[in-house]
Amino acid sequence: MTRDVATATPEASVKDVAWSLLYNKVSALPVVDPHHRPVGMVSETDLLRRLTGLPNSKADSSGQAESDTAISEVTTAGDLMTTPVWTVHPEYSLATAARMLSEHGIGRLPVIDASGTLVGVVSRSDLLRPLLRRDEAIQREVALAVLDRKLEDAAGNVSVTVQDGVATLRGSVQKKSTIDAVVTLCQYVEGIIEVKSRLGHMEDDLVKNSSPEQNEKK
Protein backbone atom coordinates (compact mmCIF):
# COMPACT_ATOMS: atom_id res chain seq x y z
CA MET A 1 0.00 0.00 0.00
CA THR A 2 1.15 3.53 -0.80
CA ARG A 3 0.44 5.86 2.12
CA ASP A 4 1.52 9.19 0.65
CA VAL A 5 -1.41 9.58 -1.74
CA ALA A 6 -2.11 12.39 -4.16
CA THR A 7 -5.80 13.31 -4.19
CA ALA A 8 -8.21 15.72 -5.83
CA THR A 9 -11.28 17.53 -4.57
CA PRO A 10 -14.54 17.45 -6.53
CA GLU A 11 -14.01 21.15 -7.32
CA ALA A 12 -10.49 20.67 -8.80
CA SER A 13 -10.26 21.80 -12.42
CA VAL A 14 -9.54 19.40 -15.26
CA LYS A 15 -6.19 21.13 -15.75
CA ASP A 16 -5.26 20.66 -12.07
CA VAL A 17 -6.18 16.97 -12.29
CA ALA A 18 -4.00 16.53 -15.38
CA TRP A 19 -1.08 18.30 -13.70
CA SER A 20 -1.39 16.18 -10.56
CA LEU A 21 -1.49 12.93 -12.53
CA LEU A 22 1.65 13.84 -14.45
CA TYR A 23 3.54 15.31 -11.50
CA ASN A 24 2.83 12.36 -9.20
CA LYS A 25 3.33 9.78 -11.98
CA VAL A 26 0.06 7.97 -11.27
CA SER A 27 -2.76 6.86 -13.53
CA ALA A 28 -5.63 7.82 -11.25
CA LEU A 29 -6.47 9.98 -8.23
CA PRO A 30 -8.97 9.42 -5.43
CA VAL A 31 -11.45 12.28 -5.24
CA VAL A 32 -12.09 13.10 -1.58
CA ASP A 33 -14.63 15.14 0.36
CA PRO A 34 -13.72 17.70 3.09
CA HIS A 35 -13.36 14.82 5.60
CA HIS A 36 -10.83 13.09 3.31
CA ARG A 37 -13.24 10.30 2.47
CA PRO A 38 -13.15 8.94 -1.10
CA VAL A 39 -16.19 9.85 -3.19
CA GLY A 40 -14.86 8.80 -6.59
CA MET A 41 -11.83 8.15 -8.79
CA VAL A 42 -10.60 10.29 -11.68
CA SER A 43 -8.16 8.72 -14.14
CA GLU A 44 -6.13 9.36 -17.26
CA THR A 45 -8.89 7.60 -19.20
CA ASP A 46 -11.43 10.07 -17.87
CA LEU A 47 -9.24 12.97 -19.02
CA LEU A 48 -8.74 11.44 -22.46
CA ARG A 49 -12.49 11.09 -22.82
CA ARG A 50 -12.80 14.78 -22.02
CA LEU A 51 -10.15 15.73 -24.58
CA THR A 52 -11.54 13.55 -27.38
CA GLY A 53 -15.16 14.51 -26.76
CA LEU A 54 -16.28 11.00 -25.82
CA PRO A 55 -19.24 10.59 -23.45
CA ASN A 56 -18.48 11.03 -19.77
CA SER A 57 -17.75 7.71 -18.01
CA LYS A 58 -19.13 8.92 -14.68
CA ALA A 59 -21.51 6.39 -13.17
CA ASP A 60 -24.24 6.73 -10.61
CA SER A 61 -24.82 4.49 -7.58
CA SER A 62 -26.54 1.88 -9.73
CA GLY A 63 -23.46 1.58 -11.93
CA GLN A 64 -25.11 3.10 -14.99
CA ALA A 65 -23.05 5.61 -16.95
CA GLU A 66 -24.40 9.11 -17.24
CA SER A 67 -24.62 10.12 -20.90
CA ASP A 68 -26.54 13.35 -20.57
CA THR A 69 -23.63 15.47 -19.31
CA ALA A 70 -22.56 17.87 -22.03
CA ILE A 71 -18.85 17.88 -22.79
CA SER A 72 -18.70 21.63 -22.25
CA GLU A 73 -20.06 21.14 -18.74
CA VAL A 74 -17.30 18.70 -17.74
CA THR A 75 -14.87 21.08 -16.07
CA THR A 76 -14.04 19.59 -12.66
CA ALA A 77 -12.88 16.35 -11.07
CA GLY A 78 -16.41 15.90 -9.74
CA ASP A 79 -17.73 15.97 -13.31
CA LEU A 80 -15.11 13.49 -14.52
CA MET A 81 -14.87 11.04 -11.63
CA THR A 82 -16.19 7.50 -11.70
CA THR A 83 -18.55 6.44 -8.91
CA PRO A 84 -19.18 4.45 -6.82
CA VAL A 85 -15.61 4.12 -5.61
CA TRP A 86 -14.47 0.63 -4.64
CA THR A 87 -12.40 0.56 -1.45
CA VAL A 88 -10.54 -1.87 0.81
CA HIS A 89 -9.43 -1.83 4.45
CA PRO A 90 -5.80 -2.21 5.60
CA GLU A 91 -6.45 -5.70 6.97
CA TYR A 92 -7.70 -7.07 3.63
CA SER A 93 -5.45 -9.71 2.08
CA LEU A 94 -3.55 -9.13 -1.16
CA ALA A 95 -5.68 -11.85 -2.77
CA THR A 96 -8.89 -9.98 -1.90
CA ALA A 97 -7.52 -6.72 -3.30
CA ALA A 98 -6.33 -8.46 -6.47
CA ARG A 99 -9.73 -10.07 -6.95
CA MET A 100 -11.49 -6.70 -6.61
CA LEU A 101 -9.14 -5.05 -9.12
CA SER A 102 -9.81 -7.86 -11.59
CA GLU A 103 -13.58 -8.03 -11.07
CA HIS A 104 -14.10 -4.29 -11.48
CA GLY A 105 -11.49 -3.75 -14.19
CA ILE A 106 -9.65 -1.04 -12.27
CA GLY A 107 -5.98 -0.35 -11.52
CA ARG A 108 -6.07 1.22 -8.04
CA LEU A 109 -8.09 0.85 -4.84
CA PRO A 110 -8.34 3.50 -2.11
CA VAL A 111 -7.60 2.07 1.35
CA ILE A 112 -9.83 3.44 4.11
CA ASP A 113 -9.93 3.10 7.88
CA ALA A 114 -12.96 2.30 10.04
CA SER A 115 -14.28 5.87 9.73
CA GLY A 116 -14.03 5.83 5.93
CA THR A 117 -11.01 8.15 5.86
CA LEU A 118 -8.45 7.59 3.11
CA VAL A 119 -5.20 6.15 4.49
CA GLY A 120 -3.56 4.89 1.30
CA VAL A 121 -3.92 3.37 -2.14
CA VAL A 122 -3.15 -0.15 -3.34
CA SER A 123 -2.30 -0.61 -7.00
CA ARG A 124 -1.53 -3.48 -9.33
CA SER A 125 2.19 -2.81 -8.93
CA ASP A 126 1.79 -3.04 -5.13
CA LEU A 127 0.28 -6.50 -5.56
CA LEU A 128 3.08 -7.65 -7.85
CA ARG A 129 5.92 -6.37 -5.65
CA PRO A 130 5.74 -9.21 -3.07
CA LEU A 131 6.27 -11.73 -5.86
CA LEU A 132 9.84 -10.40 -6.18
CA ARG A 133 10.69 -11.33 -2.60
CA ARG A 134 13.43 -13.96 -2.25
CA ASP A 135 12.44 -17.46 -1.16
CA GLU A 136 15.06 -17.41 1.60
CA ALA A 137 13.51 -14.31 3.17
CA ILE A 138 10.01 -15.79 2.98
CA GLN A 139 11.18 -19.07 4.53
CA ARG A 140 12.94 -17.23 7.35
CA GLU A 141 9.83 -15.19 8.17
CA VAL A 142 7.59 -18.27 8.20
CA ALA A 143 10.00 -20.07 10.52
CA LEU A 144 10.44 -17.15 12.92
CA ALA A 145 7.18 -15.20 12.80
CA VAL A 146 4.77 -18.11 12.37
CA LEU A 147 6.29 -21.30 13.74
CA ASP A 148 8.48 -19.96 16.54
CA ARG A 149 6.40 -17.04 17.82
CA LYS A 150 2.80 -17.84 16.99
CA LEU A 151 2.81 -21.62 17.31
CA GLU A 152 5.37 -22.47 19.96
CA ASP A 153 3.85 -25.88 20.62
CA ALA A 154 4.26 -26.90 16.98
CA ALA A 155 7.54 -25.17 16.15
CA GLY A 156 9.82 -28.03 17.13
CA ASN A 157 8.02 -30.56 14.93
CA VAL A 158 7.28 -28.47 11.84
CA SER A 159 9.68 -27.39 9.11
CA VAL A 160 9.12 -25.21 6.07
CA THR A 161 10.73 -24.95 2.65
CA VAL A 162 9.93 -22.29 0.07
CA GLN A 163 10.49 -22.54 -3.68
CA ASP A 164 9.24 -19.93 -6.15
CA GLY A 165 6.93 -18.52 -3.49
CA VAL A 166 5.32 -21.89 -2.70
CA ALA A 167 5.71 -22.87 0.95
CA THR A 168 5.65 -26.55 1.91
CA LEU A 169 5.09 -27.49 5.55
CA ARG A 170 6.29 -30.86 6.82
CA GLY A 171 6.21 -32.50 10.21
CA SER A 172 3.60 -33.18 12.87
CA VAL A 173 1.50 -31.18 15.33
CA GLN A 174 -0.36 -32.27 18.42
CA LYS A 175 -3.88 -31.24 17.37
CA LYS A 176 -5.43 -31.47 13.92
CA SER A 177 -6.99 -27.99 14.26
CA THR A 178 -3.48 -26.52 14.50
CA ILE A 179 -2.84 -27.44 10.86
CA ASP A 180 -5.44 -24.99 9.53
CA ALA A 181 -4.08 -22.30 11.85
CA VAL A 182 -0.53 -22.81 10.59
CA VAL A 183 -1.59 -22.74 6.94
CA THR A 184 -3.73 -19.60 7.41
CA LEU A 185 -0.94 -17.69 9.15
CA CYS A 186 1.54 -18.65 6.43
CA GLN A 187 -0.80 -17.35 3.73
CA TYR A 188 -0.48 -13.85 5.20
CA VAL A 189 3.31 -13.80 4.86
CA GLU A 190 4.30 -11.38 2.09
CA GLY A 191 5.47 -13.18 -1.02
CA ILE A 192 3.63 -16.44 -0.35
CA ILE A 193 1.82 -17.65 -3.47
CA GLU A 194 0.61 -20.99 -2.15
CA VAL A 195 0.92 -23.09 1.01
CA LYS A 196 1.13 -26.86 0.74
CA SER A 197 0.58 -28.82 3.93
CA ARG A 198 2.28 -32.15 4.48
CA LEU A 199 1.54 -32.03 8.19
CA GLY A 200 0.36 -34.92 10.30
CA HIS A 201 -1.37 -34.80 13.69
CA MET A 202 -1.46 -36.86 16.87
CA GLU A 203 -4.92 -35.86 18.10
CA ASP A 204 -8.05 -35.24 16.02
CA ASP A 205 -9.72 -32.53 18.09
CA LEU A 206 -12.12 -31.76 15.24
CA VAL A 207 -14.13 -34.93 15.85
CA LYS A 208 -17.25 -34.02 17.84
CA ASN A 209 -19.05 -36.04 20.48
CA SER A 210 -16.49 -38.79 20.68
CA SER A 211 -14.25 -39.96 23.49
CA PRO A 212 -10.48 -40.52 23.24
CA GLU A 213 -11.16 -44.28 23.24
CA GLN A 214 -13.47 -43.91 20.24
CA ASN A 215 -10.90 -41.80 18.39
CA GLU A 216 -8.26 -44.49 18.91
CA LYS A 217 -10.60 -47.13 17.44
CA LYS A 218 -11.11 -44.92 14.39
Report DSSP letters for the chain, one per residue. Answer: -B-S---B-TT-BHHHHHHHHHHHT-SEEEEE-TTS-EEEEEEHHHHHHHHHTPPP--B-TTSPBP--S-GGG--BHHHH-BSSPP-B-TTS-HHHHHHHHHHHT-SEEEEE-TTS-EEEEEEHHHHHGGGGS-HHHHHHHIIIIIIITT-HHHHTTEEEEEETTEEEEEEEEEETHHHHHHHHHHHTSTT--EEEEEEEEEE-TT--S--HHHHHH-
pLDDT of residue 68: 45
pLDDT of residue 215: 47
Task: Provide the sign of the torsion angle of the four alpha carbons 25, 26, 29, 30, taken in this order.
Answer: negative
pLDDT of residue 218: 45
Hey, do 14-68+76-130 and 133-203 end up sharing a CATH topology, with the first three levels equal?
Answer: no
- Architecture of 133-203 per CATH? 2-Layer Sandwich (3.30)
The model's pTM is 0.60
d(C-alpha 71, C-alpha 69), whole Å: 6
Q: For 169-208, what is each residue's pLDDT tens digit? A: 999 888 888 899 899 999 889 889 899 999 998 888 887 6
Return the CATH number of the domain spanning residue range 14-68+76-130: 3.10.580.10
> In the beta sheet, which residues pair with residue 26?
none
The domain ranges of the chain are 14-68+76-130, 133-203
pLDDT tens series, the chain, 218 aa: 888 999 999 999 999 999 999 999 999 999 999 999 999 999 998 888 877 766 555 544 444 444 444 545 778 999 999 999 999 999 887 778 888 988 988 889 999 999 999 999 998 888 888 778 899 999 999 999 888 876 665 545 889 999 999 999 999 888 888 899 899 999 889 889 899 999 998 888 887 654 555 444 44
pLDDT of residue 148: 82
d(C-alpha 171, C-alpha 155), whole Å: 10
Q: For 10-20, what is each residue's pLDDT tens digit? A: 999 999 999 99
pLDDT of residue 65: 46
pLDDT of residue 205: 86
d(C-alpha 146, C-alpha 186), whole Å: 7
Residue 13: which of 2, 29, 34 has the closest Cα? 29
pLDDT of residue 94: 76
pLDDT of residue 150: 67
pLDDT of residue 156: 54
pLDDT of residue 186: 92
